[in-house]
Amino acid sequence: MMGCRVQKKKVVMSSRRFDPVLYAALAGAVLVLSACNTVPATQTPETAVYVHHIYRPAPPPPAPISPLDDPNSVLVRRSVYFGVNAVEVRESDRSLLRAHAEFMRANPSARLRIEGNADDRGSTQSNRLLAQRRADSVRQFMLQAGVAPMALEAFSYGKDNPVDPAPTEEARARNRRVDLKYVAR
């Protein structure tokens, strides 16, 4: 540290070579301040989050989204539509069923309930039979695509489960369908 003394109106500066108390205080301050901005040996600045001058471990990445729940996946579509009195799977729906079959083959524990539906025209008995034939048609397509028989169940609601109860042609077209319900993933 520098000291000052006055000599005949002249200021002369002198220096001390070593002041142990000053050096100890300075070293302590450096250690304390440097500890506030360090990253643990297991963390790098790229894998840590800087919060209030202290690095904290980054949060874990989010759990992967199942393709069945991913809004960008074709597998979120789970209905196949049919024409009036039709039971054959339309060409436009075959790629959707192939994608579900691929998912089922890749996930052997998955179980699928295939629910057949009909519109409100016709008797309850004839609609129940028509809806069962639709569900069986989709089940057969899935079996031919390599899905295990034990993973599939075909069921008929007939006209008892409409998505749109309105008595219009558009509503009836939406009700002539087979829904794919995953009961186990």
Cα–Cα distance measured from residue 80 to residue 154, given in angstroms and rounded to the nearest whole number? 14
* Domain boundaries along the sequence of the chain: 2-57, 74-184
Give me the tens of pLDDT residue by residue for the chain, a chain 185 residues long.
455 555 555 545 555 566 777 667 777 776 666 655 554 555 555 555 555 566 677 788 888 888 888 888 999 999 999 999 999 999 999 999 999 999 999 999 999 999 999 999 999 999 999 999 999 999 999 999 999 999 999 999 999 999 999 999 999 999 999 999 999 88
Cβ contact 181:75 at 8 Å: no
Q: Could you tell me the fold of the domain covering 74-184?
A: 60s Ribosomal Protein L30; Chain: A; (3.30.1330)
Cβ contact 116:160 at 8 Å: no
pTM across the whole model: 0.66
Three-state SS string across the chain, please? CEEEEEECCEEEEEECCCCHHHHHHHHHHHHHHHHCCCCCCCCCHHHEEEECCEEEECCCCCCCCCCCCCCCCHHHCCEEECCCCCCCCCHHHHHHHHHHHHHHHHCCCCEEEEEEECCCCCCHHHHHHHHHHHHHHHHHHHHHCCCCHHHEEEEEEECCCCCCCCCCHHHHHHHCEEEEEEEEC
